[in-house]
Amino acid sequence: MRLLHIASWCLASSLVMATGWVHADEFDAHIAAIKSVQKEAIGNDAASKSVSWLSAQPVTSLTRLLLAFENTSPLSANYLRAAIETVVDRQLKAGVKLPVKDLEAFTLDRQRDPRARRLAYENLRRVDDTAEARLIPGMLLDPSSEFRRDAVRLLTTKAAELPESQKNEAIAAYQQALTGATEEDQVKEISGALKKLGTTVDLQQHFGFLTRWKAIGPFDNKGLIGFDAVYDPEKAIDLTAKLQGQTGEVSWGDLTTKDDFGVLDIAKSISPHKGAVMYLMTDFVSDRERAVELRLGTPNAWKVWINGQLLFGRDEYHRGMAIDQYRVKANLKAGSNRVLIKLCQNEQTEDWAQRYQLQLRVCDASGVAIHEAKQTAKQDN
């Protein structure tokens, strides 16, 4: 009889294990269906069915759903968000507690997808009123711009509420907030507040704008031929060379800016500036090999190279200009890295089409400025 019970227990255990494995495989299959959806609506039906299946899973599946955000497109992430929100809503209405410790751990794990971390945090806040006060202050230098923005907001609010008698404390709070601020509106707010308190902010330094360049041109862009044309600076850079330009001989010269936001005004530096191509070059010194982002703003067509390698280009004119308008990933080597920009202006005569400008900065993926090694050395001294 005892042997019969043991055999029955083993059989039952095998069935549970088998069922578990089938369920795991099915879960992964639905995640794969969602990750396969494409912009052209390819896979939408399968993804919708998978969302329905995943939405019916217990609250214990939340961590697996959050992990699925890794390497997903924005469209796929929206499907996953829908599934998670449905699971949470259903379970809360049924009186089931959320896995608070798991959600908090996921929120604090900087290695996870920022979108998933934010979603974990949003759901954590639904059941924990202390989450913001406990977690956000420690996220001032978080890789997630959303969390960092929240941390900056808490500090600026604190600083603004301090009385005049605590001016030094207010300055310290604003300066601390500035270390995590990378978005234009918050930086302007902080710099403005500090200015009223008698302290100035070097915005060029804070954002990491590159302000000293060598420039040569104009080369021809009549009829928009310049974007695809390969002029001499793209073949080799010789700062002593005299080249044939659009209207005659051209040579390299200095181009700098004192603008707070690093804007180089090409139109004020050359003539003619319509139907023209200009090349700008600078050397950026890195203390080590590292991945960075080049973030640039311009209303003009452009291409960018690092150490002779073309990274990206955009053949588009007069669509506005903003800080971090374009983000280009790049790898720097230790030492000097040559940055080359090709900037094209068309022949439109409208007033709004006269801007021929560029701003460019080097930062990490979260938007925090990366400064040249030689600048860092000067600061340390």
What is the per-residue pLDDT across 267-298, written as a single tens digit (0 to 9) for each? 887 766 789 999 999 999 999 999 999 999 99
Q: How many CB atoms lie within 10 A of CB 39?
A: 8
What is the per-residue pLDDT across 47-63, written as a single tens digit (0 to 9) for each? 899 999 999 999 999 99
CA distance 216 to 218: 7
CA distance 192 to 181: 14
How much is the pLDDT for 351?
80
CA distance 205 to 335: 20
251 contact partners, CB below 8 Å, separation of at least 6:
216, 241, 242, 243
Instruction: Look up the pTM and report it.
Output: 0.81
- From 285, 369, 281, 282, select the one nearest 333 (Cα to Cα): 285
Q: How many CB atoms lie within 10 A of CB 22?
A: 10
**Tokens linked to 326:** 């374009």
How much is the pLDDT for 20?
38
How much is the pLDDT for 208?
96
- Backbone φ/ψ region at 355: left (φ over 0), alpha (ψ -120 to 50), beta: beta
> ∠ CA(197), CA(200), CA(201), 5° rounding?
125
How much is the pLDDT for 313?
96
Q: If you write DSSP's letter for every residue of 272-336 in order, what string do you get?
A: --SSEEEEEEEEEEESS-EEEEEEEE-SSEEEEEETTEEEEEE----S---TTSEEEEEEEPSEE
Question: 3-state class of 360 per DSSP?
Answer: strand
- From 295, 302, 303, select the one nearest 325 (Cα to Cα): 295
Q: How many CB atoms lie within 10 A of CB 197?
A: 14
How much is the pLDDT for 37?
81
CA distance 312 to 324: 15
Helices 2-35 and 74-93, interaxial angle, to 10°?
130
**Tokens linked to 349:** 């005569």
Reduced to 3 DSSP states, what percent helix, strand and coil does the chain have, rounded to the nearest 5? 45, 20, 30
Helices 2-35 and 44-55, interaxial angle, to 10°?
140
How much is the pLDDT for 43?
63
Instruction: Tell me which residues of the chain have a pLDDT lower than 70.
Output: 1-24, 40-43, 271-272, 375-381
Burial class, 37, CB count within 10 angstroms (exposed 0-12 / middle 13-18 / buried 19+): buried
Contact (Cβ atoms closer than 8 angstroms) between residue 114 and residue 70: no
How much is the pLDDT for 268?
82
**Tokens linked to 292:** 């960075």
- From 95, 107, 97, 100, select the one nearest 142 (Cα to Cα): 107
CA distance 300 to 294: 16
Q: Where are the beta strands (DSSP E) in the chain?
A: 212-220, 242-244, 249-251, 253-256, 264-265, 276-286, 290-297, 301-306, 309-314, 326-332, 335-345, 357-363
**Tokens linked to 25:** 């495989």
